């Protein structure tokens, strides 16, 4: 079976759902699948458990990456397993505001700052990872030059 499984498991901080899903992946011998951990909101300990097994798990970070435990996870996730979510509509940087696809730049800025990287490098890694996890053809590219978006985007990681 050559497929990507999207896993969205969150709870009110107990981490029971994340631990249960990981147990099921192991019990059902599904560790060979590519797993997309949608909207990853767990801390470093949970990240490390997931990175240890299965080998093909990718972690997507949203605007809640500003919270310290999640930012620490974003700083420590393997760069080749990092994904960015652009518009999870209710996980905004600003309370009571819906997201837009441009929020991905702010998410990338926080991740870049946590990792000590440039935003463009984080965006490129996340784009490559997206193409890899979904087995997109080599001709599929997203040639976004952040310099065209504006010089102030480069400073986002320093402001957040």
Res 126 pLDDT > 80: yes
Q: Please name every residue paired with 82 in a beta bridge, in sequence order, or none if there are none.
A: 59
Rounded mean pLDDT, 52-66: 90
Higher pLDDT, 124 or 146: 124
Encode pLDDT of 8-28 as tens digits.
887 776 778 999 999 999 999
Cα separation, 60 vs 74, in Å, equals: 9
Cα separation, 31 vs 25, in Å, equals: 6
Res 56 pLDDT > 90: yes
Dihedral of the CA atoms 66, 36, 10, 51 (nearest 10)? -80
Helix (H) or strand (E) holding 61: strand 57-61
Domains and CATH numbers, the chain: 4-159 (3.20.20.140)
pTM of the model: 0.82
Give ∠ CA 87-92-93 in degrees, rounded to 5.
125
Encode pLDDT of 67-108 as tens digits.
899 999 999 999 999 999 865 666 766 776 777 777 888 899
């Amino acid at each position: 079976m050559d497929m990507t499984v999207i896993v969205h498991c969150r709870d009110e901080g107990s981490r029971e759902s994340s631990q249960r899903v990981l147990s099921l992946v192991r019990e059902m011998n599904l560790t060979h699948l590519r797993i997309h951990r949608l909207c990853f909101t767990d801390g470093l300990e949970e990240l490390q458990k997931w990175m240890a097994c299965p080998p093909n798990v990718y972690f997507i970070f949203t605007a809640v990456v500003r919270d310290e435990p999640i930012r620490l996870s974003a700083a420590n996730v393997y760069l080749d397993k990092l994904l960015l979510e652009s518009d999870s509509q209710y996980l905004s940087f600003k309370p009571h505001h819906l997201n837009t696809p441009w929020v991905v730049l702010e998410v990338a800025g926080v991740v870049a700052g946590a990792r000590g990287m440039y935003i463009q490098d984080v965006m490129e890694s996340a784009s490559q990872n997206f193409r890899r996890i979904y087995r997109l053809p080599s001709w599929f590219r997203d040639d976004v030059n952040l310099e065209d978006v504006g010089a102030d985007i480069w400073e986002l990681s320093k402001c957040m």
